[in-house]
Amino acid sequence: MRFLNILTPLLFIILLFASCEEEIDLNLKSDAPRLVVDGIITTDTMAHRVRLTTTGSYFENKPMPGVSGASVSISDGYETIYLEESADSPGDYFTPENYYGRQNHLYTLTITNAEVDGRGGEVVYTASSFLPPIVPMDSIRVDYFGLWDIWRVFLYGQDPPDVKNFYWFRLKINDWWHSSEYKYSAFSDDTFFDGNYADGVWLFWFESEDEYNLVPGDELMVEVWMVDEPFFEFIRGAYIETEYRSPIFSGPPANVPGNISNGALGIFSASSVVRLYTTNTISRE
């Protein structure tokens, strides 16, 4: 009986707390929209693009519309060009088709009349990027590692001494871009190999069953980008935010660091690019 006298009030307390319910209204009001810039020029001769959009609600799972009607220019201190907005893709602004970036030049992007949150003509957005010199690399090599059933891609080349270099690598196999997203690319600075020869640095790997099974004759191409530090940090941030994140142990998502002034998000980069090619001669079987 004494046991029942103790158990009865305990059960009552447990049931009381278990039945409590409180409604919580979350304030999910979005902040005022901000300009988002995605602009890259390289040493390639082509029509380079600067795309302007705005931020949107986290729960709007759709692309943000382009910002149309802005004035967009790029200058290297010697020449200033004005980009033309695409008639078919609002928010996309292009350089002339014969435009290319010059090594060791500082480029400045200027954006005016961008209609964002009703402040079209009030804010001038700028960003600067130094276009690094080309670092010629020797070659790439591909092999098949049977123990893990993966293909690997290696890089060979000399890093210049006494210069801080930042590299970004992208892989293409035939007509398929393995590095279609930042999380599938590779990046590194030369902190631990400044002035040394990269004698077979492991850049990429991919599973033969799930991703791409190479056969003899397949063409592989690696783009080697020489970038400045702000773009390198942008790539690193984009990689962190787009790779797999544990819902328990990962921190909250955050904006990727950029270099656009006046509270805008995104990146403007001037980069030099070289491409290395190889043909696969190995059969997986």
Q: Domain residue spans in the chain?
A: 35-131, 133-258+271-279
Q: What is the pLDDT of residue 3?
A: 44
DSSP readout, 217-262?
A: T-EEEEEEEEE-HHHHHHHHHHHHHHS---TTTS----PPP---ST
Fold (CATH) for 133-258+271-279: Immunoglobulin-like (2.60.40)
**What is the number of other CB atoms lying within 10 angstroms of the CB of residue 228?**
21
Q: What is the CA radius of gyration of the chain?
A: 26
Cα–Cα distance measured from residue 39 to residue 24, given in angstroms and rounded to the nearest whole number: 42
Q: What is the pLDDT of residue 4?
A: 44
Please determine whether the domains at 35-131 and 133-258+271-279 fall in the same fold group of CATH. Answer: yes
Task: State the pTM of this model.
Answer: 0.84
* C-beta of residue 200 within 8 angstroms of C-beta of residue 246: no
Segments of the chain scoring below 70 in pLDDT = 1-30, 58-60, 119-121, 210, 243-254
Q: What is the pLDDT of residue 275?
A: 98
CATH number for the segment(s) 35-131: 2.60.40
Q: What is the pLDDT of residue 117?
A: 75
